[in-house]
Amino acid sequence: MSVPSGAIANAVAEGALPGRVWMYANYHCNIECAYCLTESGPRAARRELSTSAMLEVADQAAQLGFTDLGVTGGEIFLRREMPGLLVEMSQRLPVVALTNATLFGRRLLGEVEALAGQPVALQISLDRPDPHANDAMRAPENFAKVIAAIPALVERGVRVRIATTVESIADTELDRLCALHRRLGVPDEDHIIRPVVARGRAIDHHLGVIAAQSDLPAELTITVDGAFWSPFGPTVHQGLLDTDLLITRTTRPLSLPAQTLLRLVRGRPTGDDSTLNIR
């Protein structure tokens, strides 16, 4: 059964389909977090989505009626071309780009100044208000690097969001974390809190909540290996790509995986939304 042209735009406009299209830019990273969904690290396979593929997806997402783009990894700024690529993508649709914010030395800070005033937000991971607790799950010196990078980005006019990924957090600790992000120049509306999901490296550390397909919003996610139901789909465990949330190996034209996703969404049984707050 084919989906009529314009159906994607209508489904997005009606709220039946989330408007964001995600892309996995790469899978390698300079650190190895305990809960990493993709087992990313310095030795991980790169699985890079080429620059031309990312721009093609951005163009086609805009043409189909999607409303914004997400870029994730791995650590995306290990790709030297990323600042310019984000600017180019943002000329198609607004972009949120996820980063661990540990690579913002003078050179990269200078390059990302080009994002100031553009519809791009950098979403930076900061889990705890204390260095020891934060770094235990992420990497040595992670906290110090992140709290230096955030105000440096804000001063340059780059929009910053903060993502806190935790199994649980006490109210008093959360209060201190919120006070910290406000001091760093990030307002409350740009702070999200989400649970650890039991995929990837989190499984080996006995961390996280089990997230079924019904818990995950249907956000079209494009990787070099295919299109997935959600950015929580193309995860890696014990070196192997998970394919339980793979919807098609064909990623372009983007209309093909978009139509496949819409058919799956329309076939989804009605019921209460998940309360896991996974996004």
| Residues contributing to the site for ligand SF4 (CB under 6 A) | 29, 31-33, 36, 38, 40, 73-75, 100
Q: Which residues pair with 24 in a beta bridge?
A: 72
User: Cα 240 from chain centroid?
Assistant: 20
DSSP 153: H
Q: How far is the CB of 40 from ligand SF4 (least distance, A)?
A: 4
Closer CB to ligand SF4, residue 119 or residue 131? 131
* C-beta of 74 vs 257, nearer to ligand SF4: 74
- Minimum distance from residue 257 beta carbon to ligand SF4 (Å): 23
- Smallest gap from residue 124 Cβ to ligand SF4 (A): 10
**To the nearest whole angstrom, how small is the minimum distance from the Cβ of residue 18 to ligand SF4?**
22
Residue 84 CA to residue 276 CA, distance in Å, equals: 35
Q: Which is nearer to ligand SF4, 28 or 92 (CB)?
A: 28
Cβ atoms of 161 and 126 within 8 Å: the answer is no
CB of 44 to ligand SF4, least distance (A): 8
Give dist(CA 242, CA 279) in Å, integer: 19
- Closest distance to ligand SF4 from the beta carbon of 164 (Å): 13
Beta carbon nearer to ligand SF4, 40 or 60: 40
Output phi, psi for 9, to 5 deg: -60, -40
Q: Which is nearer to ligand SF4, 223 or 259 (CB)?
A: 223
Q: What stretches of 50-158 adopt beta strand conformation (E)?
A: 68-72, 95-99, 120-125
Q: What is the DSSP letter of 141?
A: T
- Cβ(39)–Cβ(30) below 8 Å: no
Over its C-alpha atoms, the chain yields an Rg (Å, rounded) of: 18
Helix, strand, or coil (residue 129): coil
Single-letter code of the amino acid located at 235: T
Q: Which is nearer to ligand SF4, 9 or 148 (CB)?
A: 148
CA angle 73, 230, 227 (to 5 degrees): 80
Q: Which is nearer to ligand SF4, 12 or 197 (CB)?
A: 197
* H helix or E strand, kind and range, residue 193: strand 191-195
**Distance in Å, CB of 190 to ligand SF4, minimum:** 19
